[in-house]
Amino acid sequence: MDEKYDVIVLGTGLKECILSGLMSSVEEKKVLHLDRNSYYGGESASLNLDQLFQRFDPETKADPSLGLSKKYSVDLCPKFLLACGNLVKILLKTKVTNYLEFRSVSGSYVFNKKAKKLCKVPATPKEALTSSLLTLLQIPKYRKFIQFVGVYDKADKKTHKGNDIEKMTVRELYAKFGLGDDAISFTGHAVALYRNDDYLENDAMELITRCQLYANSVARYGQSPYIYPKWGLGGLPEGFSRRSAVHGGVYMLNSDEKKILLKKFIIMMKDTLLAYKLVVKLLLVIY
């Protein structure tokens, strides 16, 4: 701790590791990164079995019958990554993918309330048109809808087919193609990934953009729109940490420092707004 650093980052969550990785490589700052935990990731960590018990029930040991601890990788904040999503673009642009290994997710499922069963979310146009999430009467209408959305280009009026999308809501766009409740529910929640139905009053262009992102993500690897780090989402912050280390960043886990003085400035990760502003600033440098 006798060394002098330009930046000290507290915590190894995703945004903190993005900061340290970019500060080291783009800004060429001398970075010290501290975490009171024994693992990387903070709230987005992926824990083995021993770490999981230590975090939530430190007085209890894992049952040996569960197998080796290292065979487990439990995400504290599980989520899929769209193959053409912004986060993946950042990983590619910053070359953090050099330190990570990904797998394509073979399938995802949603619960069909009417059928009262789990149904596979279609990963291809063919699957979409044969999915039990759509009724037989809706399939031809839905085919026209996805064909329209797939080729729509704001700058090319030929693709508009007479529709003024910028003046339409999502609800009005659905009505234009005669989509029923099943098709609407499927599109909104399984494809566009909205969490509730409030989006129906949003601009139709927003829905089209989301559907195109889903379709492009499917096309990227041909099996599924989703990819996932082989060893869990905790690999994302660890990847940025490795990028920082390659450029001279210093990491210290199990470090419970209460107060740290910097020569130039202190980044306190509890100030989330400041952290994100710095991330945006550094990403603008990259792009």
What average pLDDT does range 21-43 have in this prediction? 83
Give the pLDDT band of residue 270 (cuts 50, 70, 90).
Answer: very low
| Angle in degrees, 0-180, between the axes of helices 204-221 and 139-151, rounded to the nearest 10 | 90
Confidence bin at 112 (pLDDT 50/70/90): confident
Q: Where in the chain is the domain with CATH 3.50.50.60?
A: 7-103+228-286
pLDDT of residue 260: 47
The amino acid present at 137, given as its one-letter code, is: L
**Beta-sheet pairing, 31-34 with 250-252:** parallel
Give me the chain's average pLDDT, please. 83
* 150's tokens: 């797939």
Per-residue pLDDT band at 12 (split at 50, 70, 90): confident
Q: Average pLDDT for residues 117-126, to the nearest whole number? A: 74
For the residues of 74-106, what is the DSSP string, one character each? EESS---EETTSHHHHHHHHTTGGGG--EEE--
Q: Hey, CA dihedral for 63, 68, 71, 74, is it positive or negative?
A: positive
What integer pLDDT is reported at residue 207 of this predicted model? 95
Domain topology for 7-103+228-286: FAD/NAD(P)-binding domain (3.50.50)
CATH topology of domain 109-223: Guanine Nucleotide Dissociation Inhibitor; domain 1 (1.10.405)
pLDDT given for residue 131 in this prediction? 77
- Would the pLDDT of 264 be above 80? no
Residues 6+ apart with CB under 8 A from 45: 37, 39, 51, 75, 76, 234, 237
- Residue 209 burial (CB < 10 Å; 0-12/13-18/19+)? middle
Kindly indicate the confidence band of residue 9, based on its pLDDT and cuts at 50, 70 and 90: confident
Does position 269 have pLDDT exceeding 50, yes or no?
Answer: no
Amino acid at 287: Y
Q: What is the pLDDT of residue 267?
A: 45
* Cα separations in angstroms, 50 against 68, 70, 106, 193, 238: 9, 8, 28, 34, 19
Predicted confidence (pLDDT) per residue in 213-262, tens digit: 998 998 887 678 899 998 888 889 888 888 888 888 888 888 765 444 44
Q: Where does CATH 1.10.405.10 sit in the chain?
A: 109-223
Amino acid at 96: V
d(CA 2, CA 110): 54
3-state secondary structure of 187: helix
